[in-house]
Amino acid sequence: MISYRSGNPALSSKTFKNTNTNRLDGVMTLDGTVNKTALSLIILLASAFYTFANHNTNYIWFGIIAGTILAIATIFKKTWAPYTVPFYAVFEGLALGGISSIYAHTYTGIVQQAIFLTFGIFGSLLFAYKTRIIKPTENFKLGLFAATGGIFLVYLISFIMSFLGNGLSIMNPQNSSLMSIGFSIFVVIIASLNLVLDFDFIEHGVDVGAPKYMEWYGAFGLLVTLIWLYLEILKLLAKLYSNRN
């Protein structure tokens, strides 16, 4: 069995361990996972549109906290995925819509550009993966795992520093220095490449005949990465806008 090294908290070498392999409920299929992913994205976008269109930022922290709780529950109780993932999409959408509204108020057109780039990267990497232009070898996974771990360590340090005054300046969307922009470009690249591991995870789940509920779990893994990628693209574009102005 392939050992998974991914920065995505939903994916690990233990993902397929202790899963209910009752074939009476069906097995994981590619079409099923695609359908669940599409449905999850529709729920996420509809929820985000609600708060974005109404310029409602009151649900940001509520959405983040509720979404985090559901994400943790999904990771530790994968059989709950068919129920937790749709609600995860709802709450994360509420948060994303509010966050996007804040960015849109300051930078005209930034949200539309970020959405276009996110789905453009998603489509491009899916094509690269299917045509084997990019192969998720063990060295690839190990390098990506190390880079992603380093990024989240920076996030953690910045989060702790924010309680003591200010976080790391390179994390500030209004910091248009070359170092800050370079850091955001690096994070966007790493977040994008994590999609390759998501594709590999789904394909592997189908190959080993994972339980049917793992289709929702595969959709969940993609949502986690896409949300991270979208937020980092927003930050990068904000820095580029600030640098231009």
pLDDT digits (tens, 9 = 90+) for 107-132: 999 999 999 999 999 999 999 999 99
Are 4 and 201 in contact by the 8 Å Cβ rule? The answer is yes
Output the pLDDT for position 227. 97
pLDDT digits (tens, 9 = 90+) for 90-103: 999 999 999 999 99
Question: In the predicted model, is pLDDT for residue 19 greater than 90?
Answer: no
Quick one: pLDDT at residue 1? 34
Nearest to 194, CA basis, from 149, 237, 242, 132: 149
Collapsing DSSP states into helix, strand and coil, what is residue 142? helix
Q: What percent of the chain has pLDDT over 70?
A: 89
Q: For 147-188, write each residue's pLDDT tens digit.
A: 999 999 999 999 888 888 777 888 889 898 999 999 999 999
What is the pLDDT at residue 15?
Answer: 64
pTM above 0.85, yes or no: yes
Residue 9's pLDDT is what? 63
Tokens standing for 149?
């771990």
Are the C-beta atoms of 113 and 237 separated by less than 8 Å? yes
Residue 4: what pLDDT?
A: 46
Domain residue spans of the chain:
26-244
State pLDDT tens for residues 177-192: 999 999 999 999 999 9
Q: How far is CA 12 from CA 3, 135, 139, in A?
A: 8, 18, 16
Statement: residue 232 has pLDDT above 70 = yes
- Pairwise CA distance, residues 88 & 163, whole Å: 27
Q: Return all residues near 97 (Cβ < 8 A) that are at least 6 apart.
A: 47, 48, 49, 50, 51, 52, 53, 56, 59
Q: Determine the pLDDT at residue 239.
A: 94
Q: Compute the average pLDDT of residues 15-34.
A: 74
Over the chain, what is the mean pLDDT? 90
Q: Is the pLDDT of residue 69 over 60?
A: yes
